[in-house]
Amino acid sequence: MRVIVPATEGRAVRVGAGRRVRVTDLEGGQVGDVFALAADDADDADEHLSASHTRAATSRLFPVAGETFVTSRRRPILTLVEDSSPGCHDMLVAACDPERYRALGVPVHASCADNLRASLAVLGLSVPVVPQPVNVFMRIPVAGDGRLSWLSSISRPGDAITFEAEMDCVLVVSACPQDLVGINGHHPTALAIDLETEEMSDR
């Protein structure tokens, strides 16, 4: 099943344990903010994929293929199984939000934080705090002195990253609407979520 995430918008999908889900950069150069919530806890939604717990589990700034993202309760939630992109992803910076755009001089602007909230609302869900996302295709290199650079995404059209769900979860993907700094080449575009269905995984 394919769900298109239109440019500047977000979409939520339910992913069953053991299923694979792929996020594709359709036109290239587009960052996706990925969030995952534990489905058995999604009513109060306080268990979520946690960047800081994942770094503690993997001892890496970002997992490599075969490694697992964990939740705020240190339970495995997604495993990174495949990556056809150049492998630049970020797990250091917060989702963009209305405050970010106000500071950049734009009082009303779509944001990944609002996209998360709106996508979850469609499923009747909410979060008490916006978790730190997994920013796929986002290029934030870290220098030896700890300094971060904000560079344009170098993913190519059709590049994709694939996760396998380690538990029933709700996955949210926001096609980052940032057009004021260069992370999306100043031109936000769409992403696609491809969800393995039961038939696909059983064949």
Binding site for a copy of itself (CB under 8 A): 46, 50-53, 55-56, 59-62, 72-75, 92-94, 97, 99-100, 103, 128-130, 132, 142, 144, 146-150
Pair 88, 137: CB distance under 8 Å: yes
Shortest Cβ 125–a copy of itself spacing (Å): 15
Whichever of 29 and 133 has its CB closer to a copy of itself, that residue is 133
Q: Which residues of 101-112 are buried (b: 16+ CB within 10 A; e: fewer)?
A: beeeeeeebbbb
Residue 50 Cβ vs a copy of itself, minimum distance, rounded to whole Å: 6
At closest approach, how far in Å is the CB of 72 from a copy of itself?
7
Based on CB atoms, which residue is closest to a copy of itself, 27 or 150?
150
Q: Tell me the C-alpha distance between 68 and 40, whole Å.
A: 19
> Closest Cα partner for 161 from 177, 137, 184, 185?
137
* 7 DSSP assignment: T
Q: Which is nearer to a copy of itself, 161 or 195 (CB)?
A: 161
Q: How far is the CB of 169 from a copy of itself (least distance, A)?
A: 17
Look up residue 145 and give its two tokens: 């002195």
